[in-house]
Structure 1
């Protein structure tokens, strides 16, 4: 019987949350991308996997779901090919309501993304703030590409075509910039080929499996029909907690034998928390709501082969504290490990740890 704890143990191992050190080349989450959201984003995701990465060897791109992700710079061209929409129907799903005016104007969605990409490529010759790029594109692109934005009280490009076209234009993001700064990606060449490890469907099944077709489609933001058409031939069906799921055949034994347990303070948008099977990971609705709120996500405590609680950082002047809300009793060894992880987080934040505060 494969249950949720066995799944978390497998993902702990395959996502390398149980290792103490590694290299850029062998860090598996970079195949799917490490999401860069908040101060404990991509670089913290690498740090908890034992990697002290040189940012010069990484590249930040808007890719799946329009979110910023960090990848190996050496994978730049292959990643751009791997995350490209498979068809017009797929592209329409990924850009949401922006597809409606394009369809009404008779403009194919992939053609529209290429048009936006061409304008972006012609505009961004040096680092430019997103708002400046958007302003230039507002002047050059026709009405079907634009909308009135109430929050900005202005007309500008739809957000998702803007983001998804950036990688097609060969533009990368300056890391840790807000508002985002775009610049030409050195060495970019448009292509269509990529290794299997970068295929989003295969990478998801490997790193976040076992999974359903629907879950993979939600992660990629693609129609289920498109994901089915790109389903790996070597995926096998297994039963998890009484439900059918799929995993790559080469990973089935690792899933059944997984015994990895580690204590980690996982960031709010770490890949461990990005899988679309939240009910499997956290079956208590109240706990799930606390871990995945609409706004202000906390991080997760990984311990004992399960998601075992929540954490939030608190910094005030020179004081840096980790507030921990465990969902059960922690052993003395786990508490010691939590202290060590909090020290690592403080060092990552460039602060000295004041202490770990446990919620009552």
Structure 2
């Protein structure tokens, strides 16, 4: 029987957290997209995987769950095809309450997304701040596409159609901009097909397997029925701690033989922490609550084939400190220090200290 530690060892290896060097071409997490949230976002996730990647080789897009993700720039057209909703029902699920006024007006959701994308493509001919594009879309689109936003005290486009249509309009996000700046990609056209490695269902099973259908559906933000309809024929059932899960047949041997036990400081939104089986990763409710709070997520210490603690960066003037909350007394503090130095170098500063909340 496979236990949770064996699963984490497998994910550590298949997500390449146990390697020291890599390139954009051979970095597997770029197939599913690397979420870029917070100061230690996509580029830190790539750095801890040893990927010496230049930003110009990447493209930032709003894709799964409307979150910003980094991909290989060369994959953009295929990614647009891979992340597209499979059906009107799927599209309705992905845009949440924005689907209700569209349905009431008799507008199919896929058609609505195409309409938004077409308007975006017409409007954005040079880099444009999100707020300006939102204003222009408000002027161009009819009432079923719009909502009253209490926080803004204004009427504007629903957020999820806005985000999900952008990639199909050929718009990329300028990296590290806040508020977001979108710019057109010259000559962009979504691909008609995409390689298997970019299929979100296959990529999730490969990188975050073994998994259940429900977990994959939650990650993609699609109905379970839709994910079942697109379930890989080569997915095999496997028992994990008494629960039925699935993994790609080609990965089963790697799962059973996995022994990766790297020490890493993974970011709050790293793919390792994004799988939908949190109880499998951290079975203590109090620890899980500390790792995944509603606001202000910390990073996680990966060590010994398990999540072994929390970390937070602290910068004050020229001082940069990493605060550690270990969950195990056996943590290799020398290895943690090496990783903290790596984080400081990534941030372009010197490490002042690693402080432990013992």
Structure 2 unaligned spans of 5+ = none
Which is further off, 181-190 or 51-60? 181-190
TM-score after normalising by structure 2: 0.99
Is the aligned partner of 1:63 residue 2:59?
no
Is the aligned partner of 1:210 residue 2:210?
yes
2:348 corresponds in structure 1 to: 350
**Residue-pair matches, total:** 358
2:220 corresponds in structure 1 to: 220
Query: Within 2, Cα distance between the matches of 1:330 and 1:152?
Result: 50
2:141 corresponds in structure 1 to: 141
Query: Within 1, Cα distance between the matches of 2:265 and 2:104?
Result: 48
**1:145-181 CA-partner distances (Å, limit 9, x unpaired):** 0000000010000000000000010100000000000
**1:18-54 CA-partner distances (Å, limit 9, x unpaired):** 0000111000000000000000000000000001210
1:340 corresponds in structure 2 to: 338
Query: Within 2, Cα distance between the matches of 1:192 and 1:325?
Result: 48
Is the aligned partner of 1:110 residue 2:73?
no
**C-alpha distance 187-259 of structure 1, shift in aligned 2 (>3 A):** farther
1:289 corresponds in structure 2 to: 289
Secondary structure (helix, strand or coil) at the match of 2:61 reads strand
Query: Within 1, Cα distance between the matches of 2:338 and 2:5?
Result: 24
Q: C-alpha displacement at 1:192, in angstroms? A: 2.2
Query: Within 2, Cα distance between the matches of 1:303 and 1:18?
Result: 11
Secondary structure (helix, strand or coil) at the match of 2:262 reads coil
1:121 corresponds in structure 2 to: 121
Query: Within 1, Cα distance between the matches of 2:166 and 2:235?
Result: 32
Q: How do 1:245-256 residues align onto structure 2 when only pairs under 5 Å count?
A: 245-256=245-256
**1:241-263 CA-partner distances (Å, limit 9, x unpaired):** 11000000000000000000100
**1:306-360 CA-partner distances (Å, limit 9, x unpaired):** 00000000000000000000101134xx211100000000011111000100002
Query: Within 2, Cα distance between the matches of 1:330 and 1:168?
Result: 49
TM-score after normalising by structure 1: 0.99
1:132 corresponds in structure 2 to: 132
Q: C-alpha displacement at 1:299, in angstroms? A: 0.2
Q: How do 1:17-166 residues align onto structure 2 when only pairs under 5 Å count?
A: 17-166=17-166
Secondary structure (helix, strand or coil) at the match of 2:214 reads helix
Query: Within 2, Cα distance between the matches of 1:187 and 1:285?
Result: 50
Secondary structure (helix, strand or coil) at the match of 2:148 reads strand
Query: Within 2, Cα distance between the matches of 1:19 and 1:289?
Result: 29
Q: C-alpha displacement at 1:222, in angstroms? A: 0.1
Q: Which runs of 4+ in 1 moved over 3 A?
A: none
Secondary structure (helix, strand or coil) at the match of 2:244 reads strand
Query: Within 2, Cα distance between the matches of 1:216 and 1:32?
Result: 12
Structure 1 unaligned spans of 5+ = none
Query: Within 1, Cα distance between the matches of 2:291 and 2:352?
Result: 24
Query: Within 2, Cα distance between the matches of 1:344 and 1:186?
Result: 36
Query: Within 1, Cα distance between the matches of 2:25 and 2:263?
Result: 24
Q: C-alpha displacement at 1:93, in angstroms? A: 0.1
Q: C-alpha displacement at 1:277, in angstroms? A: 0.1
2:15 corresponds in structure 1 to: 15
1:280 corresponds in structure 2 to: 280
Query: Within 2, Cα distance between the matches of 1:316 and 1:224?
Result: 46
Q: How do 1:162-311 residues align onto structure 2 when only pairs under 5 Å count?
A: 162-311=162-311
Q: C-alpha displacement at 1:187, in angstroms? A: 4.3
